[in-house]
Structure 1
Amino acid sequence: MKHTVDAMGKQCPIPVVMTKKVLDKAEQGDEILILVDNETAVNNLSRLAGSTGCSFVSKKTENGYEIRMVVKSDNQTRNEVEPEIVCTPAAPQGDYVVCVTSDKMGDGDPELGGILIKGFVYALTQLETAPSVMLFYNGGAKLTAQDSPCIEDLKTLEEQGCEILTCGTCVNFYELKEPAVGTVTNMYTIAEKLAKAGKVIRP
């Protein structure tokens, strides 16, 4: 018999608990398909498979991971196993938004602030998961202009799947040319992106 466990969007230990409930009732030879979207769940399910004598195959998909476990042991043996679960903080899954409101970072010396914001944008390119959206408004709109020192890093972020949006009102106010990366947007869209964000970061 085939079973499916849809644990998309679930953080540890929930995917293991859901799978263990199915596993406890499964018969020898049954196949369990588990859908998850984070590596922590994959690692914990691998431990569960190993401790219960199940085969384990994991495949990366567009939205996460597909795991196939085939039950090899008898029911009594599986029920005696206490699953080992190692929970680590979940990495962001691209659901965080970065708001940039100035071409400087922090208060104090303007030159230092310019260096810091450039370093911050570069650091985003090195994270495991890029932000889903970057919003540039007020003085931050200057960072998407043609002469911005951050253009190459912003293009890299865009290639990684980050949506780059610059406030059109701000572009007009500062008399900037069309952004060199991303698109011009309006305040309604900015408000919408912020309202839907899992997390908002403002440097």
Structure 2
Amino acid sequence: MRKIVVNAMGEQCPIPVVKAKKAMAELPQEGGEAEILVDNEISVQNLGKMADQKGLKWNSEKTAEHEYHVHIFVGEGQEKPKVKAAEEEVCMPDRRGHSVAVISSSVMGNGDDELGKILMKGFIYALSQLDTLPETILFYNGGVFLTTEGSDSLEDLKSMEAQGVKILSCGTCLNYYGLTEKLQVGSVTNMYVIAEKMAGASNLIRP
């Protein structure tokens, strides 16, 4: 089975979809596989949506922090997608802005901790409903409890991650609290990256 590899790293929608369709149209009559390399989950979802619309089998794998491989299979007898102009493609909007949210505690504000937990859960939910999502959410110190097993905010955080928001938890903090093996969303980072993300942010959001 012939395979065509398409490098769409750094490309924004609809370019990965257009490149994928062009590659699929070049496959032989008996079919084959188009493997598309992208660097964000928005592109993965758009490619999957295109494949679903065409009735094609597909899967994806994350091979590095900013690298995804999407495999789309075209079989014999299946109609090969026609290449449309970029402006004709319908893309899932990228709702991310250039702000960074910084969460250093599992509670919000000073006072009663039970109230603080309720407020923090509400804050993260509200964050997930914003028209423009933060580009990155950083968790350190007690904030890492929110990204690990037992957190009431996992569903909201996973929803934002699926839309391209980077969820990063301090590795030193996870280790200190014995939570390294309990991380449920996002990835582990270090203090250099945390400092770099904060320094490069156009806006910092702190609960």
What's the TM-score, normalizing by structure 2? Answer: 0.54
For residue 135 of structure 1, what is the amino acid of its counterpart? L
CA distance, structure 2, for counterparts of residue 95 and residue 61 of structure 1: 23
Question: How big is the alpha-carbon RMSD for the aligned residues of Structure 1 and Structure 2?
Answer: 2.2
Q: How does 1:8-87 map to 2 (within 5 A)?
A: none
Tell me: CA distance 1:198–1:59, structure 2 relative to 1, closer, same or farther (3 Å). Answer: farther
Q: Of 152, 157, 161, which residue of structure 2 is paired with 1:158?
A: 161
Q: Give the conservation status (yes or no) of the 8 Å contact 1:103–1:143.
A: yes
Report the identity percentage.
Answer: 53
**Structure 1 stretches (4+) deviating beyond 6 angstroms?**
58-62
Secondary structure of the structure 2 residue equivalent to 1:97: strand
Q: Of 172, 175, 179, which residue of structure 1 is paired with 2:175?
A: 172
Deviation at 1:159, TM superposition (A): 1.2
Q: Give the conservation status (yes or no) of the 8 Å contact 2:170–2:188.
A: yes
CA distance, structure 1, for counterparts of residue 199 and residue 90 of structure 2: 28
Superposed CA offset, 1:4-40 (max 9, x none): xxxxxxxxxxxxxxxxxxxxxxxxxxxxxxxxxxxxx
For residue 102 of structure 2, what is the amino acid of its counterpart? C
Counterpart in the other structure of 1:54: none
Structure 2 residue runs without a partner (length 5+): 1-86
Counterpart in the other structure of 2:196: 192
Deviation at 1:178, TM superposition (A): 3.6
Task: Point out the structure with max Rg over C-alpha.
Answer: 1
What's the TM-score, normalizing by structure 1? Answer: 0.55
For residue 164 of structure 1, what is the amino acid of its counterpart? I
CA distance, structure 1, for counterparts of residue 188 and residue 163 of structure 2: 19
Counterpart in the other structure of 1:124: 127
Q: Give the conservation status (yes or no) of the 8 Å contact 1:118–1:149.
A: yes
Deviation at 1:173, TM superposition (A): 0.5
CA distance, structure 1, for counterparts of residue 175 and residue 196 of structure 2: 21
Q: How does 1:80-119 map to 2 (within 5 A)?
A: 94-119=97-122
Counterpart in the other structure of 2:60: none
Tell me: CA distance 1:173–1:93, structure 2 relative to 1, closer, same or farther (3 Å). Answer: closer
